[in-house]
Amino acid sequence: MRTDRACIPLLALALCVTAGCASSDAGAGEGADASGASVADASRDGDATPDRPPNLVFIMVDDLGWGELGCYGQTRIATPNIDRLAREGTRFTTAYAGSPVCAPSRCVLLTGLHGGHAVVRDNREMGGWAEGDPEGQMPLPPGTTTIGTLLQARGYVTACIGKWGLGGPGSSGEPNAQGFDHFFGHLCQRIAHNQYPTHLWRDGERVELPGNTWGNVVGETYAHDLMADDALRFVDEHADVPFFLDLSFHLPHLALQAPDDELLARYEGAFDDPPYDGGKGYLPNAHPRATYAAMVSRIDRDVGRLLERLAALGLDDDTLVLFTSDNGPTYDVGGADSDFFASAGTLRGRKGSVYEGGLRVPLLARWPGHVPAGRVTDVVASFPDVLPTLVELAGGAPPAGGDGISLAPTLLGVPGQRARSHVYVEFPGYGGQQMLRFGDWSAVRRDLAKGNTRVELYDLAVDPDQRHDVADAHPDVVARALEVMRVEHVPSAEFPLKGVDE
């Protein structure tokens, strides 16, 4: 049970001593610091506080691989505006999603609790796929502490725009009941499987979309564009007060659909692009690779529009913008081609897997005058870290009992970064899986539901693609990993980890 977490400090210390947990980049000031310097007392140069709490913009896209961005090495898809975030801010090379699929990853992000403690640990549908079926996934319970509720308590105006997936219409999980003053987008992940849906939701009210019919391949109203416009409207209306914008774009998640405009034209004919005929519930597409690239470039265009609006309103220096993805890229289904775009580089695994390719995501941070520009850091980041980081930057103290650490010192380039003992990911889906990252070690357990409790062990320093399981050569490291997994897993009646809880 959760009381076992009392074991963590001594165990974490042992892991850090053995595996070298504190990671730092040269001259940046990361790593454990005994000075006790407070981020609240430091800007980039360590000598000034911001005049006001920063606006916080957290952009999370859906199923985007880190390798699909130019700043991470992509060559076939143009992402100049997202690359600007890296050029004018800091790029993380080792960031982990909360889960390898949508809803649990979002739950980890919003609550600061990893998959062994979170309420939502897998995609749990509350309805079917037919028109008119009830919408939504398993809802967050009433009274959940989220980034939204904590920032509301700090006086922030809060908005979630995009894809939610943590409670359908009328449920306890609706965003307006979970710390967000404003919501516009998809409450239900299933509805988001079509880029031309019949409707979206705005603050509890259903909004019909003109010209769209159920299951259409092409419609008149592209949902993403409405949500991108709503984000600009929210910024315009709250430019004079601190705001938190959770901008959860549902692109480039399938289905492959993009308006017939210059973004699509840019890629049609740019590379060999055999048509996709549909199947397994996915829509056909005549130019699947071009369409996917256009969807990524559409995200990039709207990141650029947002940056331009912040500058026009004089908010550049007052706004932290973070960019990430909810999990790794999809397998080659529905017309997507992650191999063609090297969406996860050479990393093993894709969405649904707790190997590096399913969990490693891009993470970029830009805040002019505060976050150092043009900097690359190998400090390990994970989704539970987002809550304490944003709350600290807002001038507050994160609640006790969370699973993340504040990365504010790393973001600001000042001393005081707390050392990390490990990153833990638990996912009961796809056969039951666990992942533990500690130092350069990655321990993986999969197919737990089939009785496979063996630990795979990889030394990421020499084997980042996880091709060589070295568990047999390091039984002591395996034993330590198993102990941390045991302590971090709290059984869930809703999402049992079969093979472990039985």
Pairing of strands 157-163, 243-248: parallel
Lookup: tokens for 74: 């992509």
Lookup: tokens for 438: 């500690």
Q: Residues 104, 427: contact at Cβ < 8 Å?
A: yes
pLDDT computed for residue 483 by the predictor: 98
Q: In this structure, what DSSP letter does residue 391 have?
A: H
Q: How far apart are CA 335 and CA 279, in angstroms?
A: 10
State the CB neighbour count (10 A cutoff) for residue 332: 13
pLDDT band, very low/low/confident/very high, at 51 (cuts 50, 70, 90): low
- Indicate the range of 179-193, 274-288, 306-320, 400-414 predicted with least confidence: 274-288
List Cβ neighbours of 290 (8 Å cut-off, separation of 6 or more).
264, 267, 268, 269, 270, 271, 273
Superfamily of domain 51-419: Alkaline Phosphatase, subunit A (3.40.720.10)
Lookup: tokens for 245: 């914008």
pLDDT computed for residue 4 by the predictor: 35
**Radius of gyration, alpha carbons of the chain:** 22
Q: How far apart are CA 98 and CA 102, in angstroms?
A: 9
Across the chain, what does the average pLDDT equal? 91
pLDDT band, very low/low/confident/very high, at 20 (cuts 50, 70, 90): very low
Strand boundaries in 316-408, DSSP class E = 319-325, 360-366, 375-377, 381-382
Q: Residues 166, 140: contact at Cβ < 8 Å?
A: yes
pLDDT band, very low/low/confident/very high, at 502 (cuts 50, 70, 90): confident
pLDDT computed for residue 50 by the predictor: 54
pLDDT at 19 over 90: no
pLDDT at 37 over 50: no
Q: Residues 405, 456: contact at Cβ < 8 Å?
A: no
Q: Residues 83, 62: contact at Cβ < 8 Å?
A: no
List Cβ neighbours of 343 (8 Å cut-off, separation of 6 or more).
64, 65, 67, 68, 328, 329, 350
pLDDT at 398 over 60: yes
Q: What is the mean pLDDT of residues 23-34?
A: 33
Q: What is the mean pLDDT of residues 24-39?
A: 35
List Cβ neighbours of 57 (8 Å cut-off, separation of 6 or more).
244, 245, 247, 306, 310, 319, 320, 321, 322
Backbone angles phi, psi at 90, to 5 degrees: -120, 135
Strand partners, 59: 247, 323
**DSSP H helical ranges for 175-282:** 223-237, 262-267
pLDDT band, very low/low/confident/very high, at 13 (cuts 50, 70, 90): very low
pLDDT computed for residue 308 by the predictor: 98
Q: Residues 195, 167: contact at Cβ < 8 Å?
A: no
Q: Is the peptide bond before 231 cis (omega within 30 degrees of 0)?
A: no
pLDDT computed for residue 280 by the predictor: 80
- Give percent of the chain above pLDDT 70: 90
pLDDT at 284 over 70: yes
pLDDT at 42 over 70: no
Task: Tell me the pLDDT tens digit for each residue of 132-169.
Answer: 999 999 999 999 999 999 999 999 999 999 999 999 99
pLDDT at 392 over 50: yes
* Sheet of strand 456-459: strand arrangement: 423-427, 433-438, 441-445, 456-459
Q: What is the mean pLDDT of residues 270-290?
A: 94
pLDDT at 46 over 80: no
Strand partners, 381: 95
**DSSP H helical ranges for 244-287:** 262-267
3-state SS track over 241-303: CCEEEEEECCCCCCCCCCCCCHHHHHHCCCCCCCCECCECCECCECCHHHHHHHHHHHHHHHH
pLDDT computed for residue 209 by the predictor: 98
- Indicate the range of 4-13, 113-122, 135-144 predicted with least confidence: 4-13
Q: What is the mean pLDDT of residues 425-438?
A: 98
Q: What is the mean pLDDT of residues 91-111?
A: 98
Strand boundaries in 134-292, DSSP class E = 157-163, 182-186, 199-202, 205-208, 243-248
> DSSP assignment of 298-339, as one string?
HHHHHHHHHHHHHHHTT-GGGEEEEEEESS-PPPS-TT--TT
pLDDT at 1 over 50: no
